[in-house]
Chain A
Amino acid sequence: MPQYSAFQPKPYRPRMSPFWFLDRWPYFKFIIRETSAAFVAYFVIVMLVQIYALERGAGAYAHFQSLMANPIILVINAVALGSIAFHAITWFMLVPRVFVRHTMGNIVPDLLIAAPNFGVWFVASLLIALFALRII
């Protein structure tokens, strides 16, 4: 407040609700985008456990596979996969927010900037799928 206003009534200072992210869809989307990153860590842990089981031999790996076939784990993995897909898509869509889009007065469309990322993602997924299915 200005210094001259010793007797001026105090302004109202609003406080943010702890649930501010429920106010609007863009904020909620942001929170999902950020929290979905936790599932990336989850998949890394699953993969490390898988490698550990592989290293310990056929019996341990069969146990790991039976654990993964558990319906609860299947549901968790399905949710994790959906979350990671959401995380990746929303993250790639942020690329136009980081790169200069104005060139000589023209705006490059968002999708055009994000497209190469989706392309690389698709090719990498395809190569891994072909490798996993022993086609290559």
Chain B
Amino acid sequence: MADSTDTIILEVARFHPERDTEPSYQSFEVPLRGDWMVLDALNHIKDHLDGSLAFRWSCRMGICGSCGMMVNGVPKLTCETLLTEFAPGPIRIAPLNHFPVVKDLVIEMDEFMGKLQKVRPWIVRKDDYQPVREFIQTPAQLDNFKQYTLCINCMLCYAACPVYGLDPEFTGPAALALAERYNLDSRDQGAAERTDVLSQHDGIWDCTVIGECSEVCPKHVDPSLAIQQYKIDATKDWFKTWLMPWGNK
């Protein structure tokens, strides 16, 4: 346990859109407390050292997905990352990789939101079935897609994905995992509709299986698995259309 008099240096990325052309780093000395997360240290800076520091946070318990940042080059939820992990420091805090920076540690997330919408993340029904009661689903059917429902849209997977960094058009891990979540849902009938978004170069085929999206995911959603699963399904469908062209009619 760190001594109460110990301190640690935080090198925090600063960017003011009206003054700066690119971010720079500013050092702050904060108390190194055993029960503090990196987010607590950032709040300490904002409360006591520099009130102009901008960053997003909300729940402090790893469920809102707001406080994702690069901590020593690795995307992490700062509310779940102990300060003592990095002792004696310094710790370098930067905004999430690959996203436009609005100010300091705050990133622009409009592109991400657009990608989420693009994959039609809702239950699509082909029939005009008007439900008079809830859809019945067995525990096994739920188990089929449940892990993909755990995504909190924290965007750590995008920050870990070099493919997204190199090609911003890439639909990306979280949106593809969300699409697979609905494709695997027994109540959904929209898999064919989503194919035009998913099974194209900017969709699943851009993924080169680096696998870091799954490694950094704080909720163990495993978006890489969702993408590879979809690749297998799309390949099978493609062969089916060649072998059984009448099957699609």
Listed in ascending order, the chain A residues whose CB lies under 8 Å from chain B are: 1-2, 9-14, 16, 20-21, 23-24, 26-27, 30, 34, 94, 97-105
Q: Spot the interface stretch: B15-23, B38-46, B126-134.
A: B15-23
- 21 contacts across the A-B interface (CB closer than 8 A): A1-B108, A11-B17, A11-B101, A11-B102, A12-B20, A12-B100, A14-B97, A14-B98, A14-B99, A16-B98, A16-B162, A20-B165, A21-B162, A24-B74, A26-B211, A94-B209, A97-B209, A97-B211, A97-B224, A97-B228, A100-B225
Is residue B171 contacting chain A, with contact meaning CB distance below 8 A? Answer: no
Tell me the interface secondary structure of chain A in the complex: loop
Give the residues in chain A near B225, CB-CB below 8 Å: 97-101
Q: Find the B residue at minimum CB distance from A105.
A: B143
Is residue B200 contacting chain A, with contact meaning CB distance below 8 A? Answer: no
A49–B50 CA distance with the chains assembled, in angstroms: 69
Q: Are B211 and A94 in contact (CB under 8 A)?
A: yes
A100–B147 CA distance with the chains assembled, in angstroms: 11
A23–B147 CA distance with the chains assembled, in angstroms: 30
Give the residues in chain A near B208, CB-CB below 8 Å: 30, 34
Give the residues in chain A near B17, CB-CB below 8 Å: 9-12
Point out the residue from B108, B146, B215, B229 that lies within 8 Å of A26, measured CB to CB: B215
Give the residues in chain A near B3, CB-CB below 8 Å: none
Given A11-B100, A12-B17 in contact, is the A104-B23 Cβ separation under 8 Å?
no
Given A30-B208, A97-B228, A101-B225 in contact, is the A13-B165 Cβ separation under 8 Å?
no
A32–B59 CA distance with the chains assembled, in angstroms: 40
Q: Find the B residue at minimum CB distance from A10.
A: B17
Q: Find the A residue at minimum CB distance from B224.
A: A97
A103–B224 CA distance with the chains assembled, in angstroms: 17
A65–B195 CA distance with the chains assembled, in angstroms: 53
| Distance (whole angstroms) from the CB of B223 to the closest CB of chain A | 10
Is residue B123 contacting chain A, with contact meaning CB distance below 8 A? Answer: no
Is residue B110 contacting chain A, with contact meaning CB distance below 8 A? Answer: yes
Give the residues in chain A near B80, CB-CB below 8 Å: none
Give the residues in chain B near A2, CB-CB below 8 Å: 110
Give the residues in chain A near B22, CB-CB below 8 Å: 12
Give the residues in chain A near B97, CB-CB below 8 Å: 14
By Cβ-Cβ distance, the 3 closest A-B pairs, closest first, are A9-B17, A11-B100, A98-B228
Mark B123-163 against chain A: 1 for CB-CB distance below 8 A, else 0: 00000000000000000100100110000000000000010
